[in-house]
Structure 1
């Protein structure tokens, strides 16, 4: 295993974010699904420097609420 920068990986997956002029991203929590050469699936986490576990939990909880709300209003399950 080796440390890799996530920027190129996320770019390759098509990840983008809408930001307004002057917006400043101050921290990040990245959750990734990894499939190894044998097809085994694992979960990977990456956080920005100095992101406390309290902030990690807050970001995760808030993101889950956004995803849940999008599922309720999206109606794409049909």
Structure 2
């Protein structure tokens, strides 16, 4: 009564096929040493932008008369 039913599972194990060449390849040659650079101070980077030049507030403002004069509607 206590017998376990036998399972019909089959286990298939696949072997990975490695290239036989991989094992016969000689190890890579050691990398050549990097050339030694003389100790020079790093060049200072150029400034990205010159500082903004302050402009006069009068040049930025246009009066009503200036605008009318520009578009040709100023009455004389």
Larger fraction in helix: 1
Same fold (TM over 0.5): no
TM-score bracket for this pair, using the shorter chain length = under 0.3
TM-score (norm 2): 0.18
Q: Which has the higher strand share?
A: 1
| Higher RCO (CA 8 Å, separation ≥ 6 residues) | 1
